[in-house]
Chain A
Amino acid sequence: MIKIFVTGDNHIGLKYASHPQGPVLAAARLEAFQGMVANANAQQCDFFVITGDLFENTYGIAKKEIEKLTEVFAQFQGIVAVLPGNHDYYDEEGKLWQQFQDVIKTKDNILLLTEYRPYRLSMNDAEVMLYPALCTSLHSAPGENNLGWIKNQDMSDSHCYHIGIAHGAVVGETIDSEGQYFLMSREELADIPVDVWLLGHTHVPFPQNLGLDLAPTGEKIFNPGTHVQTDVSCNTSGVCFIIAISEDKTICAQQIPSGPLRFCRKHITLTAGEMETILERELADIPDNSVVDVVFSGAVTIEEYESRASLFQQALSRFIEGTYRDGALSKLISEELIRREFPETSFSAGLLLALLDKPQEAQLAYELLKSLKEAK
């Protein structure tokens, strides 16, 4: 039996430039590998496979980051196989992989898959063939992928484990309407007689029903998603997979939580007199290790409105990063307030009353009229 720890779409080097806590978020992606390698060792995995997009890009990755990462890889007891994805596509002339290859010269357990050929590896008496469908560009020609050469391979040796590793979109799993992300279909993958497919590119893992314990799945195609959620558009927790292939080619799998960092954007509609309660209720389920961006709307009392900044900041302070926009939040301009502030017969009162069903407009008009009144 062999055991493979699988991760991908790690995007080391993602800078989070628009985030106040950008450096913290960027570091979290790299630091998570410590736990992943420790877990892989603890689970006695033979291989640690990265299914592409280990790095964010091919031009802006600091050598220090590569060194740090490979130091962690070096702690793995088995072989680390790295597949270039579309973000960190392989280019022998490119700086990224030249530096990477330079760094791993001193590490004997890291294998960079750079050629379209089978890689034969031996591990604990097991013969393993890796079939890498690596990327050599950010995008593919429409509808093309890199599986072609694998289809012609002889995989009849049943004593050998045949592992396909590919990076690209999968029909039904990833949106790739123009087919420019090395689009593959499940049928196409299934027709290639590897024992297992380890895929990358889709940040959301599939299959999604893997348990936390190793168990047969009946699946042959695995995509572990990203190890740490990348941004709010990718609604998933960071996980990795462990795949075990027995001698009779039965496949068991489990998922390993690897990145507690979560990104969350919430639209919270506040109502007058309940601002604090709603805020507490809406944020209650979001874990502390989250990057939270809230868009507030609705209408609150003047007192609530005046105190909103401190209240929001306090409510969001427990998160790694908490930001909000409250342009759509307004003071509740009630009939009572209008009557209190403006004579009933006044034009101002009439205008405000006519705007009552539009809280934001009522507030804007109210503020305007107040400012005019105060300027008299």
Chain B
Amino acid sequence: MKIQQISCTQFAGIRNKSISLTDGLNVIYGKNESGKSTLVNLLSRTLFQNARIDGRKDKEFRELYFPGAKRGSSVAGDFADGSILFTSEKGVYTLSKEWGQDARCTLSTPEGVIRDPKKIEEALREVLLYGEGVYGELLFSSQRNADLSLAAMLDAARKTDAKQEIMEAVTIAFAESDGISVDSIEAAIQGKIEELAGKHWDVANGLPLRKAGAGRWTKELGKVLAAYYQWQDAKAVLEEIVRLEAAADQAAIEYSRQNDSAQAAESAYESFQRFAGRLQDQQDLKKAMARINDDLEKYREAVERWPRMIKGLAQSRALQQQRDNRMRLDMYETLKATAEEKQQLKAKLVDISCPEPTELQVVKTAQRNLTHWENQLCGMNVQAAIEMFGGQQIEMTSLRTGQKLDLAGCNGRITEAVRLEVPGVMTMELSPVDVDAKAIEGQIGEARAAISDILSKYQVSSVEELEALAGNVAEDKAKLALVEAKLIAALGETSFAELEQSVAMITAPVAEKDVIDREIYQLLGGKDLDKTIIATDARIEAYTSQYGSVEALQEQITEARCELAKMQDALAAGEEIPADFQEITNPEQYLAMLKQEVTTKRQRREEALTAKTAAGSKLEHYLETVTVAPAANLEKAERDFREQQALLDCWLHIAAVFADQKEVLTDNPMQDIAERFAHYLGVVSGGKVVSDFPEKDKLAMEIYSDNQVLDYGKLSEGTKETVSLAFRLAVLDHLFPEGGVIVFDDPFANMDADRTGAAWQLIRDAAQRHQVLFFTCREDYPEESAANLIQI
């Protein structure tokens, strides 16, 4: 931007003034009170003072710049105005403002004229690049404002610490121009975040950080977590109430259910109890009827079968008689020969003497002994040579047989014991050694006598005959026994004579067996006749025993039918008993079961009532401990928590914006300004005043003079002007590297000649790059040939 013209109708003490300006150095000079500073103010106010002014807020403006505003002023003028003609790369602009009753603001741009204050502000911003802060306080600062700026730069609150004061005096004009360090802002924002988030809040998830082991954090909670815990507590209270209410409900519902169930059981019991007696009677009646029906059935069967059985029995018995007669007859015929044989054998055996077995034994034993003894007497082998003298005869008798032996016949050879006798002369017995021939001979004699006795008794001649006789007798006896056995087998205990006698008594003709069998079969089928007769007889006997007679039974049937009819009448009279109950077969047992059911269900009801009362008490006691309205408290706690959370979000966003803003500072404009400032400071002071920057990224500057650190108290007015000039030029160069506008209002008033010369040279150099409006009351500067000289 380059300013071409500044003009006004009236602005403070100047009227109808217009000055034209050029690029480079413009020296506006005039005597004191000629309006130089007013022109500087006209420039900044026209650019930045709203046309519409507030009576209270802008009172100072009105008093300063409205010609007739001051109380008691005789000067007319109820408004002020100003107009600036300037150029930019886009073209020519004219900004006109009038403050007062008919406030107005107009900006003529290359595109057209604007009256909307906001649009004018936007258009100016585009051209000026910076706002009132840069122009009003630094670049277009009037003498008075320059003093104020300088004062602001140097007038630190803590005047005892010169180093800090000077540093602040410098930094206050720029990024930390408000005296607040970026670090302190960052720390304060972080402090706010920590105050809210504490150490345990998970910002990303909106929840507390997980704590090792369950439980809550107790320290360094932060407002959000504290509010969160309060919210959770409030929620827990409501949840506990809901839980206890649900438990109470459940218990109440259960009680209601058990009560219904118990009442139903009681009702069922009472209902059934009213009918139980009658139902029992009815059941008894039914049972009795069933019994009678059963009896009647039996009676009917008996009365039907009984006569048939009698008739059948008679037939059976007739057939049985026929069959028995036939059997007797047949048996008689069969046994008749056997019986005769028996008689014959018996007769035979009566006539025959039969040796007894003992006798046979005796004979056999005697025979055996005889043989033994004879053998003893045998076995000799003697050759006798006998010569008889005297004609004597010698007789040789076998001791064994007692018979005479012919000596001649045996050629003198004697093989058995013998007695040799010469009658009247001698006897000699020859026998085997060790054989008592005599004794044996006696024994043999006895044996032969015994045998002979028995044989003669039975008129037999030999033992064999005797044995044959015994055998024959035995055979006949066996035959007799067999015959007798046959008879016994056929007749049993009956004798043949009895059979014969019974047969003799059969007078009627008897059918043949096959005829009789056929008739039996026709009558009984395959049943056994005898068993049938016995069974039928027994049944008839039983009927007779049970009922007496068929007639008596028929009477009994009649009586039973009468009784049954009476019972049916009684049963019909009891039909009002509910159908369900009528199905119950054992009312007494059923009633007992219902009673047990009542007892059980009453017990359950009691238990449910106890549980219900306990659940209700638990809820009630819990509610007594809750002093707030739980739902409202929960709502409030949640709102509090949400507010704290929203606040944290705000601060987190502020921190994010802060970080972005800080990022912009990474180029470190301070360093550029500080270096330029140090350079200009050295130039103006001739190297006597220097600055140092111990920290490269901060404008933490120390100012020295003659190697002495300057504190505020040692700063002269001239040095203050030096610092101010150097700083303003440094800022101008930094902000407008392509050229800007700066106003100097008597900047060297207190500098010595050397510094004035150096400063003036510095300004002239600056005018090569920037448009400089140099206001002064001195006459010597206008002689500068390179300058556009304007006298006011």
Residue positions of A touching B, CB distance < 8 A: 15-19, 58-60, 89, 91, 93-94, 136-141, 325, 327-328, 339, 341-351, 354-355, 358, 360-361, 364-365, 368-369, 371-373, 376
Contact = CB atoms under 8 A, between A and B. Distances in A.
A26 B116 CA distance: 58
Nearest to A351: B661
A16 B629 contact: yes
B245 A139 contact: yes
Given A89-B252, A358-B653, A376-B157, A348 B612 contact: no
A339 B135 CA distance: 12
26 contacts: A18-B636, A19-B632, A94-B616, A137-B252, A137-B253, A138-B245, A138-B248, A141-B253, A325-B643, A339-B132, A339-B133, A342-B178, A343-B133, A343-B177, A345-B130, A346-B180, A347-B175, A347-B182, A348-B185, A351-B657, A354-B661, A358-B653, A368-B192, A372-B184, A373-B178, A373-B180
A325 B174 CA distance: 39
Contacts of A348: 178, 180, 185
Contacts of B177: 342-343, 345-346
A347 B185 contact: yes
B249 A139 contact: yes
Contact of B658 (A16, A91, A351, A376): A351
A336 to B, nearest CB: 9
B189 interface: yes
Contact of A59 (B130, B253, B616, B661): B616
A18 B651 contact: no
Interface in B726-767: none
A354 B134 CA distance: 18
B51 to A, nearest CB: 14
B25 to A, nearest CB: 26
B665 interface: yes
Interface string B490-514: 0000000000000000000000000
B188 A18 contact: no
A339 B131 contact: yes
A368 B647 CA distance: 14
Contacts of B710: none
Interface residues of B, number: 57
Contacts of A17: 627-629, 632
Interface of B: 130-134, 137, 157, 172-180, 182, 184-185, 188-189, 192, 245-246, 248-249, 252-253, 256, 609, 612-613, 616, 619-620, 623, 627-629, 632-633, 636, 639, 643, 646-647, 650-651, 653-654, 657-658, 660-662, 664-665
Contact of B176 (A140, A325, A328, A346): A346
Given A91-B616, A348-B178, A373-B179, 8 more contacts: A18-B636, A19-B632, A59-B623, A327-B646, A328-B646, A342-B178, A345-B174, A348-B185
Contacts of B664: 350
B176 to A, nearest CB: 7
A291 to B, nearest CB: 12
B178 A346 contact: yes
Q: What are the 8 tightest A-B residue pairs by CB atom distance, in nearest-first order?
A: A344-B133, A18-B632, A343-B177, A137-B252, A17-B629, A18-B629, A346-B178, A139-B249
A360 B658 CA distance: 15
Nearest to A57: B623
Contacts of A139: 245-246, 249
B623 A351 contact: no
A343 B643 contact: no
Contacts of B651: 361, 364
A342 B609 CA distance: 75
A371 B157 CA distance: 15
B553 to A, nearest CB: 59
A348 B174 CA distance: 10
Given A59-B620, A351-B661, A91 B252 contact: yes
Nearest to B617: A59
Contacts of B627: 17
Q: Which of B182, B612, B657, B665 has the most CB of A within 10 A?
A: B657
Contacts of B185: 347-348, 351, 368-369, 372
A16 B613 CA distance: 27
A93 B612 contact: yes
A120 B175 CA distance: 90
B650 A364 contact: yes
A350 to B, nearest CB: 5
A15 B629 contact: yes
Contacts of A136: 252-253, 256
Contact of A369 (B157, B174, B178, B632): B178
Contacts of A89: 252
Which of B131, B252, B643, B662 has its CB near the most chain A CB atoms (within 10 A)? B252
Contacts of B650: 358, 360-361, 364
A350 B659 CA distance: 12
A368 B252 contact: no
Given A17-B632, A18-B628, A138-B248, A372 B188 contact: yes
A369 B177 CA distance: 12
Contacts of B178: 341-343, 346, 348-349, 369, 373
B130 A347 contact: no
B234 to A, nearest CB: 11
Contacts of A137: 248-249, 252-253, 256
B623 A368 contact: no
Contacts of B188: 368, 371-372
A355 B616 contact: no
Contacts of A140: 253
A243 to B, nearest CB: 30
A333 to B, nearest CB: 12
Contacts of A361: 650-651, 653-654, 657
Contacts of B131: 339, 344
